[in-house]
Structure 1
Amino acid sequence: MNVEFPDRETVDGWIEPKPLPSFARVQYEPDAAAVEDPAARARAELDALPLEELEPGATVAVGVGSRGIHALAEVVAAVVVALEDRGFEPVIVPAMGSHGGATAEGQREVLEALGVTEDAMGAPIDARMDATLLDEVPVGDTALPVYFSTAALESDAVLVLNRVKPHTNYEGRFESGLVKMTTVGLGKQRGAKAIHSTAIAEGYVPTLEAALDVIEREVPLVGGVALVENFYEETARVEGIPAGSFRDREPELLEAAYDGMATLPVDEIDLLVVDEIGKEISGAGMDTNVIGRYRVLNAPDPETPDIDLIYVRGLTETTKGNGNGIGLADITRRAAIEQLDVTKSYANAFTSGSLAKSKLPVVAPDDELALRTALAALGGYDPETVRVAWIRNTQDLEELRVSAALVDDLPEAATVAAEETLAFEDGTARFEPT
């Protein structure tokens, strides 16, 4: 049965139009340091890994994930060339669990959307979804089967490359980074599912540590290249970390990531409007630390920011229909639903066990009716005092729009670039100069 969402004519009679707040276009520019040439730095950081222990001609699996990391293609290409210069044969292995619809073709598509192709990288991509069971170990009262990519296991050595950043489901000594990519990403769908299921019951950190212990024992892991980004999603730090040192080094890098992460300039918001969500932006479609919502069993939401309602307008092109994270919103529009690939979104939900992120919010026919609905749902609506923030996505926060009531609360790093009025054309929102 096809779901029929109410059309504009039907919804238009349910909620009366309301006067809209005035808006300001804001430039938010905190100070942030950046690495001048991330690719060159990554290549140099390979010296920290015990590659000299490998025989000439050894194959090295390079684990690459699905995130839109700054200069990702350039960094991966530099690592590939550096390995070749050392006499090795690199092969790129997608390390992204169930992303791409949990298919080899889908994971290739994700990498291609990020600029990582065989032609561009000068190395083969082995995207097989096969995973080998390494062992089964206890985590609390749960038995954890530890899987690892068969393609990576067939290589003589394994190296992972990932950004260290706050996770979208939990807080701990290590969150997103080399530990998670090694255990979850290279576990493919079966491994990712096993770890998420165990983590929900026993906690993420002990689950990841137990899986890492097995992998370090059973896999020829040589290490990884960790990246940390600043507010502008530029590379702020690059570090080569040998195997056996991930859990010692990641906490410090994670602290740096928290200090530099992109955040909204205000903490108390009535309505947040997000133009687009996508897997390359965040594993949860939009960064849960930016919006203040985890929506995960046994994990309290972040204390800040405090956002009453969220309206998501659409999906990025790069996410290829994976709308995981749409469930973090309270309302969306028909245009976003038309972009949605339910199979890809559900592959994420089934694997992670984070079901709320793939639920459908209320679906309005267009922007005008979505905003009318959201503002009415706030209760006691007043256009002079309503606190609305409007962003492109949770990754690009250096330019945003805020309602007039938020202007006086902006920090010094935020400046008003222009005053604007919100208008609609055939129900689609646009901003016009005042």
Structure 2
Amino acid sequence: MDFGKVNVTVEGGFDIKLPNMIKVHQEFNGEKINDIESHLSKELAEKKVLENVKGKRIAVTAGSRGIKDIDKITKKVLDELKAAGAEPFIVPAMGSHGGATAEGQKHFLENYNITEESMEVPIVSSMETVQVGVLDEGIPVYCDKNAFQSDGIVVINKVKPHADFKGDYESGLVKMMVIGLGKHAGATSLHKQGFDTFHTLLPRAAQVFLKGAPVLFGLAIVENAYDDIMRIEAIHVEYILEREKDLLKLAKENIARIKVSEIDVLIVDEIGKNISGEGMDPNVTGRPGSMLKEGFDVPDIKKIVVLDITKQSHGNGAGIGMSDISTTKCVSKIDLGTMYTNSITATILDPAKLPVLMNNDKEAIVIALKTCNRVDPTNAKIVRIKNTLELDEIEMSVAYMEHIENTKELTIASDSYSFDFNENGNLFE
């Protein structure tokens, strides 16, 4: 998309004094698994989930969310299945992502080094589904046709707080089954009911799915706030619903947060589907596309500026609409068809709307400050983050100095410095 130059009249212009910034280290619980593959091999053996798979075709899910070392985890599961005599293959399980096409979903997995060559198994990508059951009110529940026709399904996913609602089951194995493996049909069927129903709808749909589809076991992953893996659990099919609730509690206790109560302007360097379902995680920003804000423990943020979209998103800029200001450079990278397909399927359109657009990063930041009521730009509380996944080192304006010095989880990591823009008005990378 070519927007041309945005000509806007701003009282006082764009040459205002911005506050100095400092790098700040945020400390979180650092518990993690150091040797992923050894841990996983031991876990699969101890839980005895690979018994009786000899000679069977086993479908292993691969989703669209970014998970640390997901290629190593997936490859290890595949290798263990083959060692037990099974014939595994990969099924993309990502609802409507990847443009809701078979080729698009297979291509999406390349972002995570999940290819037929690297995994040494076929990737069977299709949007065909089978209806495996129906809820009491007539809502159909679907499963990927190839997974359904296999002899068993291994469901792999990260368990984490969802971006649009709160409940006992949010993002995890349950959602991977009924929406991820449900493909475009399943995602549409359930999202049409609205996120305000998901806290009860998802577990009921999962019960139907588990009765109708040949799920072998689940592999649940929990990450710490540094985006490292702290827990991997193989869960027998009959215990998936019970165990996922406990793992979600653990995930919520270890989610990364910005440890302040108020932010005048939050600058987000990049958003993307590999970062969050909504581009930038509402568990950090407090801006879910569903507008169901209850349960989000976040700072009070006046304005959000988004500067870029990750390459891994392949043009899906969903989440840009939850910002207040962006740039023409950033939004020009959006593929409207891909973004709209995702948002229409989810039935929430606000994340796909365009914010106020300026010509460069400096103009966007200045407009954000000038539209914060009763805020002196030179003393503004500004926070800059790379994205909502990587929050261990962030940038904060000097207005936070006293707060930093009085908060044990925050450590100053640099001298103060001014914003550094290039000749085009964009921040140096």
Give the TM-score band, short-chain normalised: over 0.9
Stretches of 4+ moved more than 6 A in 1?
A: none
Please tell me the residue identity of whatever aligns with 2:131: L
Please tell me the residue identity of whatever aligns with 1:422: F
Instruction: Work out whether 1:217 is the aligned partner of 2:206.
Output: no
Match of 1:379 in 2: 373
With 293-302 and 146-155 compared, the bigger mean Cα shift is at 293-302
Match of 1:180 in 2: 175
CA-to-aligned-CA distance 1:114-150 (integer Å, 9 cap, x gap): 1111110111101111111222222xxx531111101
Offset of residue 248 of structure 1: 0.6
Please tell me the residue identity of whatever aligns with 2:103: E
Match of 1:117 among 115, 118, 124: 115
Q: 1:39 to 1:199 in 2, by over 3 A?
A: farther
CA-to-aligned-CA distance 1:229-256 (integer Å, 9 cap, x gap): 1110000011001112111101111111
TM-score (norm 2): 0.94
- Aligned with 1:239: secondary structure? strand
Match of 1:252 in 2: 246
Offset of residue 429 of structure 1: 3.6
Instruction: Work out whether 1:88 is the aligned partner of 2:86.
Output: yes
Match of 2:226 in 1: 232
Instruction: Work out whether 1:414 is the aligned partner of 2:410.
Output: yes
- Aligned with 1:51: secondary structure? coil
Give, in whole Å, the separation in 2 of the partners of 1:189 and 1:163.
20
Give, in whole Å, the separation in 2 of the partners of 1:289 and 1:244.
30
Offset of residue 278 of structure 1: 0.7
Offset of residue 24 of structure 1: 0.6
Offset of residue 3 of structure 1: 7.3
Aligned residues: 424
Match of 1:64 in 2: 62
CA-to-aligned-CA distance 1:69-115 (integer Å, 9 cap, x gap): 01110110000000000000111101110111111111112100111
Match of 1:283 in 2: 277
Instruction: Work out whether 1:16 is the aligned partner of 2:38.
Output: no
- Contact persistence 1:384–1:404 (CA under 8 A): no
RMSD of equivalent CA atoms: 1.8
Offset of residue 344 of structure 1: 1.1
Offset of residue 12 of structure 1: 5.8
Q: 1:59 to 1:359 in 2, by over 3 A?
A: same
Tell me, which stretches of 5 or more residues in structure 2 are unaligned?
none
Instruction: Work out whether 1:320 is the aligned partner of 2:314.
Output: yes
**Structure 1 or 2: larger strand share?**
1
TM-score (norm 1): 0.93
- Contact persistence 1:199–1:207 (CA under 8 A): no
Match of 2:184 among 161, 182, 189: 189
Please tell me the residue identity of whatever aligns with 2:290: V
Q: 1:49 to 1:335 in 2, by over 3 A?
A: farther
Q: 1:429 to 1:404 in 2, by over 3 A?
A: farther
Q: 1:200 to 1:381 in 2, by over 3 A?
A: closer
Please tell me the residue identity of whatever aligns with 1:24: I
- Aligned with 2:217: secondary structure? strand
- Contact persistence 2:269–2:387 (CA under 8 A): yes
Match of 1:271 in 2: 265
Match of 1:163 in 2: 158
Matches within 5 A, 1:288-299: 288-296=282-290
CA-to-aligned-CA distance 1:181-228 (integer Å, 9 cap, x gap): 011100001101111112436x11221122112111111111111111
With 408-417 and 59-68 compared, the bigger mean Cα shift is at 408-417
Instruction: Work out whether 1:337 is the aligned partner of 2:331.
Output: yes
- Contact persistence 2:272–2:316 (CA under 8 A): yes
Q: 1:428 to 1:77 in 2, by over 3 A?
A: farther
Matches within 5 A, 1:28-39: 28-39=26-37
Instruction: Work out whether 1:107 is the aligned partner of 2:102.
Output: no
- Contact persistence 1:294–1:301 (CA under 8 A): no
- Aligned with 2:419: secondary structure? strand
Offset of residue 389 of structure 1: 0.2
- Contact persistence 1:12–1:369 (CA under 8 A): no
Give, in whole Å, the separation in 1 of the partners of 2:424 and 2:48.
56
- Contact persistence 1:422–1:431 (CA under 8 A): no
Please tell me the residue identity of whatever aligns with 1:130: E
Give, in whole Å, the separation in 2 of the partners of 1:103 and 1:4.
29
Give, in whole Å, the separation in 1 of the partners of 2:360 and 2:238.
52
Q: 1:220 to 1:171 in 2, by over 3 A?
A: same
Match of 1:241 among 235, 240, 251: 235
- Contact persistence 2:128–2:144 (CA under 8 A): yes
- Contact persistence 1:334–1:364 (CA under 8 A): yes
Give, in whole Å, the separation in 2 of the partners of 1:180 and 1:31.
26
- Aligned with 2:13: secondary structure? coil
Give, in whole Å, the separation in 2 of the partners of 1:271 and 1:383.
10
Q: 1:301 to 1:427 in 2, by over 3 A?
A: farther
- Contact persistence 2:215–2:237 (CA under 8 A): yes
With 352-361 and 375-384 compared, the bigger mean Cα shift is at 375-384
Offset of residue 298 of structure 1: 5.1
Instruction: Work out whether 1:137 is the aligned partner of 2:135.
Output: yes
Match of 1:311 in 2: 305
Identity %: 37
Please tell me the residue identity of whatever aligns with 1:45: E
Match of 2:25 among 19, 22, 27: 27
Q: 1:176 to 1:15 in 2, by over 3 A?
A: farther
